[in-house]
Structure 1
Amino acid sequence: MGNLRREDQKLYLVTNSDGMEEQVFLKKIENAIKGGVTIVQIREKEKTTRQYIELATKVHEITLKHDVPLIVDDRIDVAMAVGAEGVHLGQSDMPIKTARKIVGEKMIIGATCKTVAQAKEAYESGADYMGVGAIYPTTTKVKTVLTSVDTLKEICAAVPIPANAIGGLTKDNLGILTGAPIAGICVVTAIMKADDTKKAAEELRSAFDRLEAI
């Protein structure tokens, strides 16, 4: 299994570079890490393989400097090419069992799960953590199906690997997750669209810490 601690997942940033100059994008990520982001997933749906590798390499330089794991969305080839710490696979991506054979035991593999059955399959196939949602509707281009908090709690109870809630989460609406034993929250818009990503990350981290303390 990949080396991923539960505390690494408290504030999970999923990137979105749409409409941004590269230097602005990279600066947003670094400032977000300074504000409390504990893990970063680079997600690029439109870039060519070469473009994806070039950008992921630059993001990895930042995450390595701050000792934060880098996860690559969908693309095992890109993750391996840049030496990323992990890869995240959705339900339509490469099966986790197949991915594990390719990447070996050390790389982190995350899985998108929306049901208890998907969570059990992900765990039994060798996933290290799950992203569960969408809790709220999202503004990203990714096709979303809503997952209830009750289902999130059932998923947490069904498998021993950590679960992270994702989908439309902000510092003001985390209360819906009260009582769900999640490892962390995944955010895209709440950080990437913020003018001050360091402040946005600080506020989200504080909100999650309060949630954990309840």
Structure 2
Amino acid sequence: MKCSKETMLLYAVTDRAWTGKQSLEEQAEAALKGGVTCLQLREKELDEEEFLKEAIELKRLCAAYHVPFIVNDNVEIAVKCKADGIHVGQEDMETGKVRALAGPEMMIGVSVQTPEQAAAAQEAGADYLGVGAVFGTATKPDAIDVSLETLKKICETVSIPVVAIGGISKANMHRLSGLGADGAALVSAIFSAGDIEQECRELRRLSEQTFLTSRQF
């Protein structure tokens, strides 16, 4: 499965910090019911066995909703669970090596903060880019801030889809309109919600208003 711009429209990134009354799988399914267009599993604490078990379950869920499933950082887990994609950062495995391990069909997303990084990632074979943090975020305290002007320059530099990430919410998503991005990736704005499905329905409407006029599919 290769990446389309539609895939980026409302991109959910899981965070176990918000589980409680619901399991991560239940939260993910609520987000899928609400209209997310992509789901990334981000795990930093689980051992490999539990990570793989969870990845297989979320891959099954995403397939049922016809939504691409992406694994963060762990290429081996992505390959084993037959994920639709793998997302890596600047400090993770180099894009070319990821492609060699993942094969020609798996989507590769790369986090970038500058036009130069964006151009290099595209040249190396990335299928889409994650750009951020565009707003302040407590989810990833070490994230490098990226100005909206830089986001626009990155979108002008590459031809592959671009998703903005970092502190995006219903209150500020409109500020991303017209910059060239294809969608927004959200963590706490989705998974901290009391009613995740309803929250995603509202976020989906907002993302369509914000991004569908920015670039023509």
TM-score, length-normalised on structure 1?
A: 0.95
Counterpart of 1:200 in structure 2 is: 199
Q: 1:114-133 alignment to 2 at 5 Å?
A: 114-133=113-132
Question: Gaps spanning 5+ residues in structure 1: where?
Answer: none
- Please give the root-mean-square deviation of Cα atoms over the aligned residues, in Å: 1.5
- In 1: Cα distance, 2:20 partner to 2:104 partner: 36
Instruction: Measure how far apart 1:175 and its partner are.
Output: 2.0
**Are positions 1:177 and 2:176 aligned together?**
yes
- In terms of mean alpha carbon deviation, does 172-181 or 185-194 score higher? 172-181
Q: Deviations over 1:22-71 (max 9, x none)?
A: 95221111111111101000000111111110111111111011011110
One-letter code of the match for 1:58?
Answer: E
- Structure 2 partner of 1:55: 54
- 1:14 has 2:10 as partner: no
CA distance in 2, matches of 1:142, 1:25: 22
Q: Distance in 2 between matches of 1:22 and 1:106?
A: 37
Q: State the 1:21 CA deviation.
A: 5.2
Deviates more, 1:100-109 or 1:14-23: 14-23
Deviation of 1:145 (Å): 1.1
In percent, how many aligned pairs have the same letter? 37
Distance in 2 (alpha carbons) for counterparts of 1:96 and 1:161: 15
Q: Deviations over 1:71-120 (max 9, x none)?
A: 00000000011110010000010000111111111000000000011101
**1:140, distance to aligned residue in structure 2 (A):** 1.1
1:5 offset after TM fit, Å? 1.6
Q: Which runs of 4+ in 1 moved over 4 A?
A: none
How many residue pairs are counted as aligned between the two chains? 213
1:101 maps to 100
Residues 175-213 of structure 1: per-residue CA shift (max 9 Å, x gap): 221211111100000001101111111111111111134
SS across alignment from 1:91:
coil
Which string of whole-angstrom CA distances, capped at 9 and with x for unpartnered residues, describes residues 131-188 of structure 1?
0000111121452111001000000000111110000001111122121111110000
**SS at 1:18's partner residue?**
helix
**Structure 2 segments unaligned to the other structure (5+ residues):** none
Matching of residues 38-117 of structure 1 within 5 Å: 38-117=37-116
Distance 2:158 2:41 in 1: 26
Deviates more, 1:174-183 or 1:32-41: 174-183
C-alpha separation in 1, matches of 2:21 and 2:106: 27
Shift of 1:19: 5.7
